[in-house]
Amino acid sequence: MTLTAVGSIAFDTVSTPFASGERLLGGSAVHFALASSFFAETSIVGPVGGDFEEHHLQMLRSRGVLTDEVQIDHAGRTFSWRGHYDYDLNTAHTDETQLGVFADFTPALSERARACEVLFLANIQPSLQRQVAQQCASAAFIALDSMNLWIQTARDELLSTIELVDCVLLNDAELRMLTNRPNLLAAAREVISLGPRVVIAKQGEYGAALFTEEDFFALPAFPLENVVDPTGAGDAFAGGFIGFIAAKSADVSHENLKRAMAYGTAIASFNVEELGTARLQRLTGEEIAERVAELRRITQFIEEPVELRSRPQA
């Protein structure tokens, strides 16, 4: 199935306790597409400035990503983010954001992009997400990511956009903030009541949890000794998860959702091993398959009956 991803294309300057780099190719649409392109033809929609070099586009094309929908403003500059992480790699500290051409971004989708069968609305203003979702009304599966900023400043717009989608991806704190529910299960149930069929709570180094109206599933993060840069890991997870669903013709059976979680988890684990998108740029399908198999091994157990002791009656 064809897949369109709408989001940021960026240059990131990142510092962690283990490495640092300047003007690294990143952005939600890029991390997502480098993951999803293993499963489905992926077209990215996002703006870049005149400082965005052709070799970046060539790299994306070499990985099977369609770049015809990238909007180039030669007079502007590409969105850039500078941030750092302390030893708690779950928390990114923003030092500077330069919106550049992203400040006036209005997604202009071609007829081909609007005809996509699967759509990912990356973390952009809810009003823009809604515009895109309405343009892609024939999509069989629409997924949305968001963040605490939009929950705080555009909650009503975000809620009305959530009503249009099939899947919502938020971290656990954002789910609680959106619903004012302290319990994660209750928060997910409330979001599902708005219309989505699937809710995913991203939990950073602890993995992710999936909720549907009928079921629940969770996976830990893949165990790694060396984590260099978590930037974009959530988008890489989304790319693996949604790309797998696209490969399965948007069949969201519980078994497919569980497998999609495994592929998203595996790809996200590669994303964090190096700065920016460097590791994803040379990732292979064989490496992904090996890590999914290992994830399956370490999360299975065999139930053996055991005689439980009886407690004395009070």
Within a domain: residue 122? yes
Nearby residues of 175 by Cβ (< 8 Å), 6 or more positions away? 181, 184, 187, 188, 191, 199, 201
pLDDT band per the 50, 70, 90 thresholds, residue 116:
very high
Within a domain: residue 313? no
Q: What is the CATH number of the domain that holds 67?
A: 3.40.1190.20
> How many other CB atoms are there within 10 angstroms of residue 225's CB atom?
4
- Distance, in Å, from the CA atom of 73 to the CA atom of 47, rounded to the nearest integer, reads 7
Within a domain: residue 178? yes
Distances (CA, A) of 171 to 151, 188, 220, 308: 12, 11, 14, 38
The sign one gets for the Cα dihedral 296, 298, 302, 306 is: negative
Domain of 181? 3-297
pLDDT tens digits, one per residue of 247-301? 999 999 999 999 999 999 999 999 999 999 999 999 999 999 999 999 999 999 8
Strand partners, 48: 72
User: Is 0.85 surpassed by the pTM of this model?
Assistant: yes
Mean pLDDT on 15-34: 97
pLDDT tens digits, one per residue of 271-283? 999 999 999 999 9
Within a domain: residue 173? yes
Give the residue carrying structure tokens 């928060």. 187
Strand partners, 65: 42
Reply yes or no on whether the pLDDT at 314 is more than 80: no
Within a domain: residue 308? no
Q: For the chain, how many structural domains are there in total?
A: 1
Within a domain: residue 302? no
Within a domain: residue 306? no
Instruction: Calculate the average pLDDT of the chain.
Output: 96
Within a domain: residue 69? yes
